[in-house]
Amino acid sequence: MIWGAATVVVLAVVATFVIGAVRQVSNRPDLGAVQTFEVSANHTSGPVSYPMEPPVGGDHRPSWLNCGVYEQPVPNEYAVHSLEHGAVWVTYQPELPAADVATLKDALPGTYTVLSPYPGQDAPVIASAWGHQLKLESADDPRLAEFIRTYRMGPQTPEPGAACTGGLSAPGKVA
């Protein structure tokens, strides 16, 4: 009887953990809208024309952009190098309300992220990582956090662990 009761208790504990894990995975936002791109990774000193805006990779400057929050647009070729190091670059339309920009700032981890306006982009908010991009209609879309969790320093990163500080800061850096 003791063994039977112990077995029931153990099975109940295991079932509780399994059900909790399944619920957690099933409640994650769907990243099915993430676009994937094949990109090069060469250093160049010349201007680069990227096939997507904002870019998600490709040829870039030998120096990277320091991760952080920028209130002005940043140079693509330096931000792309930060993506190569594992950063997620979140861009927003310059006319996005200040409250939404504050929501984005609050949503970003303190390392390996860049936040900046991006004139002319075709969605209010766009999250980019090396070779991957997600267009969002609002700053509070729960897919942003899932994108960051999945791609920041993710397996697609060509140079994982490379610095996201000690590079160049563009004008308008506030954090």
Q: Beta-carbon neighbour count of residue 120 at 10 Å?
A: 9
What is the SS3 assignment for 8?
Answer: helix
Per-residue pLDDT of the chain (175 residues; tens, 9 = 90+): 676 666 655 665 655 555 554 444 457 889 998 999 999 999 999 889 999 999 999 999 999 999 999 999 999 999 999 999 999 999 999 999 999 999 999 999 999 999 999 999 999 999 999 999 999 999 999 999 999 999 999 999 999 989 999 999 999 898 8
Determine the pLDDT at residue 2. Answer: 73
Q: What is the pTM of this model?
A: 0.84
How far is CA 94 from each of CA 67, 75, 116, rounded to the nearest angstrom?
A: 19, 15, 9
Query: Between β-strands 88-92 and 113-117, what pairing exists: parallel, antiparallel or unpaired?
Result: parallel
What is the SS3 assignment for 30?
Answer: coil
Q: Beta-carbon neighbour count of residue 64 at 10 Å?
A: 26
Nearest Cα neighbor of 81 from 170, 173, 171, 145 is: 170
Determine the pLDDT at residue 35. Answer: 95
Determine the pLDDT at residue 21. Answer: 46
